[in-house]
Amino acid sequence: MTRRAHSAAEIVAKLRLVDELNLQGRAVGKAVQAIGVTEVTYYRWKRMYGGLEYEVVEWLRELEAENARLRRAVSDLTLDKLILIEAANERLFSPELRRACVENVTTALGVSERRACRVLGQHRSTQRKRPRSLDGAGRDNGHRQHSIVRHC
């Protein structure tokens, strides 16, 4: 059998049909086969939606979907809060400090680099590209300095 989502009206109608067939003397197994679902599905629907009108079932499904969406939002915000708490004691004025903080957060909390950068305000390209350091005298260590101006 292929799996498909049933609407609330279909579920209520199929539950009523099984009840009618059962009252006519048909066994539950045969009645369930007549509506095209398994017995497990029938009993799950009966437990969840038995005795309800389809408007109530539809409202219940919408409520469950909204509840799941809100739970995801709360978990995302809680994770963002943990990231900010982890970084709260550090002053993140320069990209180098934010880079170190992002690395600390990703190892301590196990979050992705993308998420840590978004919460801490670090652009991901800044996180990945490390600046070339100068030696103590201010010389460029033999590396050529690239100008910012691009020629088209």
Q: What is the pLDDT of residue 150?
A: 45
Find the mean pLDDT for residues 127-140: 62
pLDDT at 151 over 60: no
Distance CA 97, CA 146 (A): 24
Q: Look up the pTM and report it.
A: 0.51
Please list, in sequence order, all residues whose beta carbon lies within 8 angstroms of the beta carbon of residue 126, skipping any fewer than 6 positions away. Answer: 95, 98, 99
Q: Where are the domains of the chain?
A: 8-52, 68-128
Number of H helices, E strands in the chain: 7, 0
CA-to-CA separations, 45 to 4, 17, 54, 148, in angstroms, rounded: 14, 13, 12, 65
Distances, alpha carbon 22 to alpha carbons 15, 16, 38, 50, 84, in Å: 11, 10, 16, 15, 60
Q: Which residues, 6 or more positions from 56, have their beta carbon under 8 angstroms from its beta carbon?
A: none
- Which class for 88: exposed (0-12), middle (13-18), buried (19 or more C-beta within 10 A)? exposed
Stretch 36-40: mean pLDDT, rounded?
91
